[in-house]
A and B are shown apart, each in its own frame.
Chain A
Amino acid sequence: MKPARKQRLILIALMVIGASIATAFALKSFNDNLMYFFSTTDVVEGKAPKSALFRLGGMVIKGSVERPDDGMMVRFKLTDFSKEVTVEYTGILPDLFREGQGIVAHGKLNEQGVFIAEEVLAKHDENYMPPEVKASLKNQTEPVIAK
């Protein structure tokens, strides 16, 4: 390779590496702000904001969804498989809201430590399969995906 070309190649490589390092530092320092939601453990440990709006993500515990009165209010428990938080929401839930499903709720904590949600979004997982496969997965609990 001619020296001039080699020099240009090295210059470009240095530029890309420099930009990557700068971005890595920037992302590292903004790491907490880039998190879209707090986990239930964060809330229980008091890392989540006390009086401000924030997002809470977790799995809806099976059998925890209840409607205490006849209205639109739903109460359910969220977990990240270590700590639990109770959530109350008044409104229409998205189609994918189910027990055992991941969701993200936007709202704030009240004095009792109950999360009062203003908005509930469903998070869906990265698995795609026909219903029959899902049914047989449930029955034998051995993987038959992408055989």
Chain B
Amino acid sequence: MFLIPNAVVRFFHRMASPPHFYAFTDKVMPWLIIVFVLLTGFGLYGGLYLAPSDYQQGDSYRIIYIHVPSAWMSLFIYMVMAISGAIGLVWRIKLAEIVAISSAPIGASFTFIALFTGSLWGKPMWGTWWVWDARLTSELILLFLYLGVIGLYGAIDDKRVASKAVAILALVGVVNIPIIHYSVEWWNTLHQGPTVTKMDKPSIHVSMLIPLLLMALSFKFYYLIALIQRMRIELLQRERNAQWVKAKVSELR
């Protein structure tokens, strides 16, 4: 703990308290939305208009600006879900449990978008919508893991028990994450190797890379916005008998 500055520790301590979290997110939400809109605007303008067309794929490669950030998000959100699930299991922090379960539908959507746009991209380039190679199959398993988490949480009435069950499922599923990432290196697949996320320098021209990174950042902000909205609803539902929620409700009346 001594490595983390005191102010940061205090911030997280306060954020773990539901009423504090509720009030704080109310204030930051407009700023998050502004940053998200700006990033998406610049990212799409850069990717769809400014970036040159590819030497081999022409303009069809531009789906990369949706496909790749979605695929990155599908992995990133899964890790957030598993880690916050583990924190919930060990420290029994209510807010960590809520982060985990609120991430699942967002992660599932990004996984679906990655699979769907990949399919649209595969038809003209590879000549097929779908193949059962290691990359595509492991990404499909990731979608099923997300759906499993959502289903399991819904099936258990006691939400604190449900959160524990979900956290264990998510943690076991973590083994799939390196498999997805390294599938294109460990086995021969139809999907090509990594372009950006490798030790070597990215094999994409810098004029195409910048919009891609902007889009990746914009998707991170979208996740943050969607996560906070979902967390606030989940929090109100779970804490409906708490004093601060009753006070909030009577304020509105």
CB within 8 Å of B: which residues of A? Answer: 5, 8-9, 12, 15-16, 19-20, 23, 27, 31, 34-37, 39, 57, 93-96, 104, 119-134, 145-147
Contacts of A124 in B (CB 8 A): 56-57, 125-126, 192
Name the one of A19, A122, A128 contacting B54, with C-beta atoms under 8 angstroms: A128
Report how many residues on chain B are interfacial, defined by Cβ distance under 8 Å: 45
Give the distance in Å from the alpha carbon of A57 to the alpha carbon of B28 in the complex: 52
Are A130 and B127 closer than 8 Å at their CB atoms?
no
Residues of B within 8 A of A34 (CB): 134, 186-187
Cβ contact within 8 Å between A27 and B57: no
Checking A37, A119, A127, A145 against B188 with a beta-carbon cut-off of 8 angstroms, the contacting residue is A37
> Are B126 and A128 interface neighbours, CB within 8 A?
no
A52 to chain B, nearest CB (A): 17
Q: Would you list 6 pairs from A and B whose C-beta atoms are within 8 A, ordered by A residue? A: A20-B175, A96-B56, A121-B127, A126-B195, A129-B204, A134-B55
Question: With an 8 A cutoff between CB atoms, is B194 at the interface?
Answer: yes
Majority DSSP secondary structure for residues of B touching A: loop
Q: Which secondary structure dominates where chain A touches chain B? A: mixed
With most chain A CB atoms within 10 A of its CB, the pick from B61, B90, B208 is B90
What are the nearest 6 A-B pairs in CB distance? A94-B127, A130-B52, A134-B55, A36-B133, A129-B205, A128-B204
B213 within 8 A of A: no
Give the CA-CA distance A126 to B54 in the complex, in Å: 12
On whether A147 and B131 interact (CB within 8 A), knowing A5-B90, A124-B125, A130-B54, the answer reads no
- The minimal Cβ–Cβ distance linking B234 to chain A, given in whole angstroms, is 23
Q: How far is the CB of B191 from chain A (nearest CB, A)?
A: 8
Q: Does B199 interact with chain A (Cβ within 8 Å)?
A: no
Complex Cα distance A57/B203, Å?
22
Residues of B with C-beta under 8 A to A134: 55-56
